[in-house]
C-alpha cells in the first residue's frame, strides 16, 4: 500500500502532546465543570487527535488529491450537469455579510439577503415562464416532493379529493416515482416509443379523473426533446390533472425555451446542476419550485415579499402547504446561482443552452462510427451510446469507463438509463472548450482501438488510479464500508 495515497486516519497519526493551535485566554476559566449539571457532562474526555500542523496539512492535502472534480478535468457525467463553478461564485459566498447571518434574525437586519432571495425567484420565473418560485427546497428530489404537495394542496382546495395518481414515463429518473410515493400518491407508468419519447397512445389509456398530475422530464433522460408536449399538456389538462416539469435537464433550454410557455403548471430547477454550484457526494443542493399564476398561495412557507417602499418581509400564507425546510433553504447555494446569472447577464445567459447542445452533438457525431448510437437524432445536452459498435471484442461499457480514468477523465454515466444494456451517457455541458472536448473524443477513439488490439488492457483498467478495478459483485455482497473494517480484513 502506498501510504501517501492511502494515508491513515488522522487519529492514527496522533502523538500525545502534539498540537497545531494556540487558543486565546479562556474567559470561562472561572467556571468549573461542576457548574454543568452532571447529566450533561461527559463521562470521559472526548478522544481528539493530537497532531502538529504539518501533519494535519499533509494528511488532508494528500486526501484531497485523491479526489476528482470539475476543477481537475472533464466530468461528462450524463444527467448530472457537472459544469464549471466560477471562482467569483465562491468569493461572494465567502463574504461574511452573507455567511454570518442567522435565519431568525429580524428582517430589517438582513435586507440584502432577502433581496437576493426575492430577485432570484423573479429571475427564475422569467427564465421559465412561470409566475413565482420558492427557494426553500434543498434538492431536486425535495423540489419534486414540494411540487407534488403544491399540486395536492391545489386539488384539495377545490374539494377534489379523488385525484391520487401520478403518471410518470418509464424513462424517468428514479426520484420521480419515489417523490410521488413519499407524497402518498400512486405511480402509474407511461411507456416510451421506440424513438425514446412518451407514447401518447399509451398515455390516452391512462387518463381519467383520478389523475392528480403527470411528471415529465424535458429533454428526457435520453437527451431528447419531448416533441408532443402541446398534445400531452392538452390531454392531461382536459382530464383535470396538472403538468409537472422535472427541470433537472433545464440546462439546454436556458434562454431558449420556457416550460411555462409549453403549458406546464409546476416545476423544479436543480440549481446545483443548471446554475453551476458544485455538487456530488450528496450535497448541498437547492431545488427551487415554480408555479404558474393561480397556484402561488399553495407554495411552502415562509415567503419573501416586497412592500411598496421596497422593504423585504418574511411572511407566511394561510393557504400554503406548510413548511418543507427549517427556514429558507440553502442560502449560500442559491446565492451562487444569483451571482452566476448576474455574471452572465441577460444576453450571455441565452448562450448556455445552445452551446451545451452544440458540444453534445459534436461529441456524438465524432464518435458514432465507433460507438453504437441506438437513437440517431439531433440530441439536446446529452446522449446515450449503447457500448462499442464492435461487440466482438467483449469490451463492455464498464471497461471503457474504467479505462477513461487512466487517461485523466471522469467516466460518463453508465448503465443508465435502463432502456439499453450498455448505456454510456455523455453530457459535456457548455463550459468545456473545443480543445478539451477534442482531447476527450481522441481518447475515446483510442480506447475503441485498444479494445481491438489489446482488449486486456481495457478489461483490467484502471491501472493508474489509487485503487484499481474493484470487484463490484463482492462489494455488493460483502461491503467494507468503514476504515476499521478494512484494517480488520487486512489483518486477518
Ligand X SMILES: *Cc1c(COP(=O)(O)O)cnc(C)c1O
- Residue 48's contacts (CB-CB under 8 Å, 6 or more residues apart) are none
Pair 115, 304: CB distance under 8 Å: no
3-class DSSP state for residue 377?
coil
The stretch among 139-147, 206-214, 327-335, 389-397 that binds ligand X (CB under 6 A) is 139-147
263 lies in the site for ligand X, by CB under 6 A: no
* Residue of 113, 125, 139, 458 that binds ligand X (CB under 6 A): 139
The stretch among 67-75, 137-145, 365-373, 456-464 that binds ligand X (CB under 6 A) is 137-145
Which one, 417 or 462, has the nearer CB to ligand X? Answer: 417
Is beta strand 242-247 parallel, antiparallel or unpaired with respect to 211-217? parallel
The stretch among 22-30, 86-94, 243-251, 317-325 that binds ligand X (CB under 6 A) is 243-251
Which one, 274 or 396, has the nearer CB to ligand X? Answer: 274
* Residue of 85, 175, 233, 397 that binds ligand X (CB under 6 A): 175
Single out the residue of 5, 3, 4, 7 nearest to residue 49, CA to CA: 7
Pair 183, 148: CB distance under 8 Å: yes
Burial annotation 284-299 (CB, 10 A radius, 16+ → b, else e) = ebbbbbbbbeebbbbb
- Angle between helices 434-453 and 397-406 in degrees, nearest 10: 120
* Residue of 173, 303, 364, 459 that binds ligand X (CB under 6 A): 173
Minimal distance in Å, beta carbon 286 to ligand X? 8
Residue nearest to ligand X (CB): 140
192 lies in the site for ligand X, by CB under 6 A: no
270 lies in the site for ligand X, by CB under 6 A: yes
- Residue 161's contacts (CB-CB under 8 Å, 6 or more residues apart) are 155
Alpha helices in 66-110 (DSSP H): 87-93, 96-99
Minimal distance in Å, beta carbon 160 to ligand X? 27
Which one, 375 or 480, has the nearer CB to ligand X? Answer: 375
285 lies in the site for ligand X, by CB under 6 A: yes
Q: Which run of H or of E encompasses 245?
A: strand 242-247
The stretch among 118-126, 138-146, 308-316, 347-355 that binds ligand X (CB under 6 A) is 138-146
* Residue of 167, 248, 333, 352 that binds ligand X (CB under 6 A): 248
* Residue of 246, 296, 427, 450 that binds ligand X (CB under 6 A): 246
Task: Locate 476 and state its grid cell.
Answer: 455488493
The span from the CA of 76 to the CA of 336, in Å, is 22
Which one, 132 or 246, has the nearer CB to ligand X? Answer: 246
Instruction: Show contacts with ligand X in window 206-235 (CB under 6 A).
Output: 217, 221
79 lies in the site for ligand X, by CB under 6 A: yes
The stretch among 121-129, 136-144, 318-326, 387-395 that binds ligand X (CB under 6 A) is 136-144
Single out the residue of 225, 267, 222 nearest to residue 242, CA to CA: 267
DSSP 32-70: -GGGS-GGGS-SS--------HHHHHHHHHHHHHT---T
Provide the binding-site residues for ligand X, judged by CB under 6 A: 79, 139-141, 173, 175, 217, 221, 246, 248-249, 270, 285, 287
Amino acid at each position: 500500500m502506498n501510504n501517501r495515497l492511502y494515508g491513515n486516519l488522522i487519529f492514527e497519526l496522533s502523538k500525545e502532546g502534539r498540537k497545531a493551535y494556540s487558543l486565546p485566554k479562556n474567559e470561562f476559566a472561572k467556571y468549573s465543570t461542576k457548574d454543568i449539571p452532571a447529566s450533561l457532562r461527559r463521562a470521559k474526555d472526548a478522544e481528539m487527535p493530537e497532531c502538529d500542523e504539518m501533519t494535519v496539512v499533509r494528511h488532508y492535502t494528500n486526501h484531497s488529491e485523491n479526489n476528482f472534480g470539475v476543477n481537475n478535468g472533464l466530468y461528462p457525467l450524463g444527467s448530472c450537469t457537472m459544469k464549471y463553478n466560477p471562482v467569483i461564485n465562491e468569493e461572494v459566498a465567502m463574504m461574511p455579510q452573507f455567511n454570518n447571518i442567522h435565519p431568525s434574525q429580524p428582517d430589517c437586519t438582513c435586507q440584502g439577503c432577502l433581496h437576493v432571495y426575492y430577485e432570484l425567484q423573479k429571475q427564475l420565473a422569467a427564465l421559465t415562464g412561470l409566475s413565482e418560485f420558492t427557494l426553500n427546497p434543498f434538492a431536486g428530489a425535495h423540489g419534486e416532493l414540494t411540487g407534488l404537495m403544491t399540486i395536492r394542496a391545489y386539488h384539495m382546495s377545490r374539494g377534489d379529493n379523488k385525484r391520487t395518481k401520478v403518471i410518470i414515463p418509464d424513462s424517468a429518473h428514479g426520484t420521480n416515482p419515489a417523490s410521488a410515493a413519499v407524497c402518498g400518491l400512486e405511480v402509474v407508468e407511461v411507456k416510451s416509443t421506440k424513438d425514446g419519447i412518451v407514447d401518447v397512445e399509451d398515455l390516452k389509456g391512462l387518463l381519467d379523473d383520478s389523475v392528480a398530475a403527470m411528471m415529465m422530464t424535458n429533454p428526457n433522460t435520453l437527451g431528447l426533446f419531448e416533441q408532443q408536449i402541446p398534445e400531452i399538456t392538452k390531454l392531461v389538462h382536459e382530464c383535470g390533472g396538472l403538468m409537472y416539469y422535472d427541470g433537472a435537464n433545464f440546462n439546454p433550454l436556458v434562454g431558449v425555451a420556457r416550460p411555462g410557455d409549453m403549458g406546464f403548471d409546476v416545476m423544479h430547477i436543480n440549481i446545483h446542476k443548471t446554475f453551476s454550484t458544485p455538487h456530488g457526494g450528496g450535497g448541498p443542493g437547492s431545488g427551487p419550485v415554480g408555479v404558474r399564476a393561480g397556484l402561488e398561495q399553495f407554495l411552502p412557507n415562509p415567503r419573501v415579499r416586497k412592500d411598496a417602499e421596497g422593504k423585504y418581509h418574511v411572511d407566511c400564507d394561510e393557504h400554503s402547504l406548510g413548511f418543507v425546510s427549517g427556514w429558507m433553504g440553502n442560502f449560500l447555494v442559491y446565492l451562487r446561482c444569483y451571482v452566476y446569472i448576474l455574471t452572465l447577464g441577460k444576453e450571455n445567459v441565452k448562450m448556455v443552452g445552445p452551446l451545451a447542445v452544440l458540444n453534445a452533438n459534436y461529441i456524438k457525431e465524432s464518435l458514432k462510427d465507433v460507438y453504437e448510437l441506438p437513437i440517431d437524432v439531433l440530441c439536446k445536452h446529452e446522449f446515450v451510446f449503447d457500448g462499442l459498435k464492435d461487440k466482438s471484442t467483449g469490451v463492455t461499457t464498464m471497461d471503457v469507463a474504467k479505462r477513461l480514468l487512466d487517461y485523466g477523465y471522469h467516466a460518463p454515466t453508465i448503465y443508465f438509463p435502463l432502456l439499453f444494456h450498455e448505456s454510456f451517457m455523455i453530457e459535456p455541458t457548455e463550459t468545456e472548450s473545443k480543445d478539451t472536448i477534442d482531447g476527450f473524443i481522441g481518447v475515446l477513439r483510442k480506447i475503441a482501438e485498444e479494445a481491438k488490439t489489446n482488449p486486456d488492457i481495457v478489461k483490467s483498467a484502471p491501472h493508474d488510479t489509487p485503487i484499481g478495478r474493484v470487484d463490484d459483485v463482492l462489494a455488493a455482497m460483502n461491503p467494507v464500508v468503514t476504515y476499521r473494517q478494512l484494517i480488520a480484513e487486512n489483518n486477518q
